[in-house]
Each structure stands twice: as structure tokens, then as C-alpha cells.
Amino acid sequence: MESVAHSIGLSAVMTWTLLKVLIVFGSVMGVSSLWTWVERRGSAMLQDRIGPNRALLFGRWQLLGLPQLVADGLKFFFKEDQVPPHVTKRLYWIAPMLAFVPALIGFAVIPFGRSFSYQGALYHLSILEPGNGMGMLYPLAIGAVAVYGILVAAWSSNNKWAILGGMRASAQMVSYEISMGLAVLAIFMKVGGYDPGEIITEQAGVLWKVLPNWFIFRQPLGFLVFFVCMFAETNRLPFDFAEGESEIVAGFHTEFGSMKFALLALAEYAHMTTASALIATVYFGGWSVPFMPEAPVLLTILFFLIKLLFFMWVFVWVRWTLPRFRYDQLMFLGWKVLLPISMVNLIGNAWWMTRGGH
Amino acid sequence: MQSMQSPLTPFLGVLILLLVAIVVAAIVLVLSGVILPRFKPNNPQANKLSPFECGAPALQVGARHRYSVKFYLTAMLFILFDVEIAFMLPWAAQYKAHLETFVPMLTFFATLLVGFIYAWGKGAFEWER
């Protein structure tokens, strides 16, 4: 590492940071765009139809419809990029960026593998290194900023469907943020800090001799709340009110076309990636390998990837399992069911800790 | 790696990631919205440029009218409860070492609960009314 860093004229710390940024940015972008394909193909599988299969690589290889990904990307670039006269121009141009950037940087704090030492130096596999005092507060804060992207896109469109969709999405996201915060508070209490690394080490070991010591088994109620909130925060079905096709056309991105729409759509998938990573880190032991406390670094990365991709698949799975809620049902669930549950979870766990439970 | 002086140094990677994300988004937007339109079909029509409503011609352009007050009510309730959570964050991080703070925190939580029950009784959480 030192010699490589020296040869390109940068310090070792800087090279390592740049490498990590490259890995995280590339993986989140790659997984997000791959998931547009998995979503279409998976939906087809669940609905007993074929799905995208017409795009061929070099006019020959079908590859399970994977070339569709490339075809879609090209098509987005070459579609007419019109700016309707009734929109607010400046905000209309900024909105896709405002949605895309927070979606991508939320991943920075999540460790995607075990920290390792090499030639006397310790390397951490997360962009935001542990011990910064920020920890899990960072993705929560970035997740809250994501509301602006949708709201600005909606407002700048100056279209009834768009503004309704944006209003719904923002009200929904802020409602579920409270229950999510309370659910994560119970985790912070048990861990004694915000750091994701500490959260993962806290989950090492074995519970009742048969289960890995994950928080899903120790706080199932909190997991339930957090899991449901993640669906609401990412605007995925069954809480797909920002773009309820049957009611408000395409919601907040009704007036967007070409690459502007592509960025908005990609942002949703990037949010899914971050949400899955959060679920895996907080409740499923992150990169830790069950029953293998001294797993090699590459195996931990592999396990993190498996957990991440599994939860991303759950997002697609749930989409075709549950029908869309009504908006009043969403508010009922958020304020009258999940919020009391998360309060009970927090106080119950605090009480359990005074009794000496772990 | 440990020789970090400024408390902001760990955030350098985040800053780089932020810049990379902004630059990529900007390049994509400019490429598709400014540079490529010189080469790709540009065929604006009145129907295409009107706000999308339901297929029928729009009666008026502009949609920034008054929207249901419930959205704003929800936002206000969110501020109240979110501030409570922000108060509890430092407590939660220290709780493990200070288990005796359980009862004082219960009194704080009780005040939160009174507000919650009041809002519930007032019907602030009823969407259909």
C-alpha cells in the first residue's frame, strides 16, 4: 500500500480513502442499477410471466434480459429532454441532483467488512472511520435530507399530481422517522454508543447456544418497527404513495423525462441499497459471520454482501406480496401502531437492562 | 491511520464521496439536458409541454393552490416528537453505564406520553375526518 501510494504521489491515508470511495460509489451505483433489472425480472417471476427478454447483446445473447439494462440506459440518454414552460426552471434542474446525492452518500458509514491490519497499519472497511462520534446518526440524518429531493422535484413541477405526491411522500417519511428513531434508540442503549462497528461487535457470539447473537432475536419488536419504517422511508410498496400509479399518475416525477427521471429512479434504488445495508448492520450482525468469530476478511465482505442482497430482494418480494395501503391506513399504522410499539420497546428494554438483562 | 489531528479528518472520505456524487449527477444532467439535445430530436408541441393532468386539456396552468392542512399538522407533530428523540439520543448512548437514570428518564417520557395522548384524544392522528 505504502509503495503504491508513493508511486502516485499521495499519502497512504489518502490513497486508501480514495480507494474506499471508489469501491462504495461503484458498488452502490452498480447494485442500484442492477436492481432495476432484478426488480423487473423478479416481478415477472412472481407474476408468472417472462419479463424483459427482447434486448440482445450483439443481436445474439439474451442473458436473461440483462442487456435490457444497457438498452434502458442508452435510451434514457437519447430521449428528448424537454423542460416544460410551467416548471420552476432552477429547482427543476436541481431536483434530480438533490434526490440522487443523499441517496448515494448515506452508505458512507456502514462497515462492509472486518477491519484488518497490514504491515502494522489498521485499515477500516468503511468510508467514515469508527470513533468519529457520529456513527449511525449519519445515515439517519442523510435519510432525513432525502425528503428535500422529492419535495423540490414535486414543487418545481408545478403539477397537481406531482405536488400531491410530494406532499404525501414528505408527510409519510417524517411520520415514520419517529418510530424508526425510537427503535434505533433501543439499540444505542444496548450498545452504549452510536458506532456501527460497536453495534456489530455487540452482536458477536451465540444466543441460547443455537442462534447468532443478532439484535433481531434480542429485540424482535424493534426490528419489526425498523423494518416497516424502512419501507416507508424508501417510498417502496406497500407504502408507495409518492408515485401511486393508480391515483396520481407517477407522483413527484410526473413531469420529469430523460436522464432527469433516470436520476430520480436511481435514487430510489440507492435508498433501497442503503436501507438494506442498515437493516443488515443493525439487526443482522453486519459483516459478522455466524458461529465464526475469527472469519477471514474476504468472507466477512461476502457475508455482508449476501445479507445486503437478500434484503434488497425482500424489497422486491414484498412489493408483489402486499397490496398498496390507503393513505389513512398508512397514517394509522405510523402514529397509532408503530409509535406506541416502539415506545413500549424502548421502555421495556430500558427496564430489562435495570434488571440485569442484556 | 491513527494519526488524526482535526476532528473533521475522518469526514474527508465523506466529503470526497459527496463531491463525486455531485459531479457525476451534474455531468449526467448537463450531458443529457444541454449537450446531447443538439444531436437528438427536439420536437416541442403544445400538448407535450402542457402540465400532465388526465389527458384532457388543462383548465389552468399552475398547481400551487392550497393543500390539505393535515400535511402541515403532521409536519408539526413530527417536529415535536423528533426533538424529544434528539433529547434522548445522548441519554441512550450513556445509559449502559448509568442504569440509575431509568426513573428520571421515565418522568421525561411521561411528559412525552401526556402530549401523545392529548394529540390522540384531540384526533390529530385521524386522517379521515
Q: How far is CA B72 from CA A171, A284, B67, B120, in A?
A: 8, 36, 9, 16
Whose CA is closest to A274, among A217, A321, A234, A219? A234
Q: What grid cell was written down for B88?
A: 434522548
ipTM of model: 0.85
Query: Which residue does chain A place closest to B44, by CA atoms?
Result: A82
Residue extents of the structural domains in chain A: 2-354
B52 with A249: Cβ contact below 8 A: yes
Mean pLDDT, contiguous 10-residue spans, chain A (358 residues): 65 82 90 91 90 82 84 85 85 90 89 81 80 83 88 87 87 90 90 87 81 86 92 86 74 83 90 92 87 83 92 92 86 90 91 80
Type of residue found at A319:
R
C-alpha span between A188 and A179 (Å, rounded):
14
pLDDT, position A277: 92
Whether the CB-CB separation of B33 and A260 falls below 8 Å is answered with: yes
Tell me which residue in A84, A188, A350 faces B102 most closely, judged by beta carbons. A350
Tell me what pLDDT residue A228 has: 93
- Angle, vertex CA A353, rays to CA A349 and CA A357, nearest 5: 100
Q: What is the pLDDT of residue B5?
A: 58
Interacting residues of A54 by C-beta distance below 8 A, sequence separation 6+: A65, A68
CA distance A218 to A203: 10
Which of A132, A137, A178 is facing B10, going by the closest CB pair? A132
Q: CB A80 to CB B64 under 8 A?
A: no
Dihedral, CA of residue A246, residue A162, residue A226 and residue A294, to nearest 10: 100
Test the B interface: residue of A1, A10, A17 with most B CBs within 10 Å: A17
DSSP-assigned letters across all residues of A250-317: TGGGTT--HHHHHHHHHHHHHHHHHHHHHHHHHHS-TTPPTT-TT--HHHHHHHHHHHHHHHHHHHHH
The cell numbers describing A216, all together, are 433481531
- Residue A32: which residues within 8 A CB-CB, separation 6 or more? A266, A269, A270, A272, A273
Residue A116, class by beta-carbon neighbours within 10 Å (0-12 exposed, 13-18 middle, 19+ buried)? middle
Say whether B21 and A100 touch across the interface (CB within 8 A): yes
Q: Report the residue from A155, A158, A181 with minimal CB separation from B85.
A: A181
Q: Cβ separation of B74 and A331 shorter than 8 Å? A: yes
Considering only CA atoms, which of A189, A18, A205, A26 is closest in space to residue A107? A26
Location of C-alpha cell 449476501: A306
Put simply, whether A6 touches B (Cβ < 8 Å) is no
For residue B102, the chain A residues in CB contact (below 8 A) are 350-351, 353-354
Q: Which residues in chain B touch residue A133, judged by CB atoms under 8 angstroms apart?
A: 7
SS3 state of residue A62? coil
Are the CB atoms for A18 and B16 separated by under 8 Å? yes
**Low-confidence residues of chain B: pLDDT under 70:** 1-7, 129
Full-model pTM? 0.89
Q: What is the DSSP letter of A113?
A: S
Q: What is the DSSP letter of A86?
A: T
Long-range contacts of B106-112 (CB under 8 A, 24+ apart): B106/A347, B109/A343, B109/A347, B112/B81, B112/B84
What confidence score (pLDDT) does residue A209 get? 76
Burial of A89 (0-12, 13-18, 19+ CB in 10 A): exposed
Separate counts of helices (H) and strands (E) for chain B:
4, 0
Secondary structure of B33-72 as H, E, C letters: HHHHHHCCCCCCCHHHHCCCCCCCCCCCCCCCCCCCHHHH
